Amino acid sequence: MSLKRARVTHVAWLAAVVAGVLILAGVIDGALAQSSPFGTPRPQASVPPMGGMLGWIFAKQAEFYRQFSGLIRAAKADGSAAWSFCTGFFMPPVPATARR
């Protein structure tokens, strides 16, 4: 057998092994994606702590999200959202030398 034919055979064998591993991974993933071994629902995620530093961070993030959501809703209502997008998208960035 020539060297070229042996190389083609090895590449074909490698491709078949990779395809087999991907198919096996897909089957295993489907089998393991069930809710639990006995069909019972998974427990709900625990509520994050609301005290201390993490509580403060979560509260600030929630406040920012509410404000930003309100801003987006208001922009959609009066039509300024499309103008805001166009000016942000089509306007060239300001060079650093002009930012004084």
The pLDDT-based confidence of 27 (bands split at 50, 70, 90) is: confident
Number of domains in the chain: 2
pLDDT, greater one: 41 or 16: 16
62 shares a domain with 23: no
Mean pLDDT of 20-39: 74
C-beta of residue 53 within 8 angstroms of C-beta of residue 63:
no
User: Average per-residue pLDDT in the chain?
Assistant: 75
What confidence tens digit (pLDDT) does each residue in 71-98 have?
A: 778 777 877 666 666 666 566 666 666 6
Between residues 38 and 58, the one the model is more confident about: 58
Position 51 confidence tier, pLDDT thresholds 50, 70, 90: confident
Full residue range of the structural domain in which residue 93 is found = 49-100
Residue 5 CA, chain-centre distance (Å), reads 44
**pTM for this predicted structure:** 0.34
Domain co-membership, 53 together with 84? yes
In a domain, 58, yes or no: yes
Place of tokens 């509520």: 47
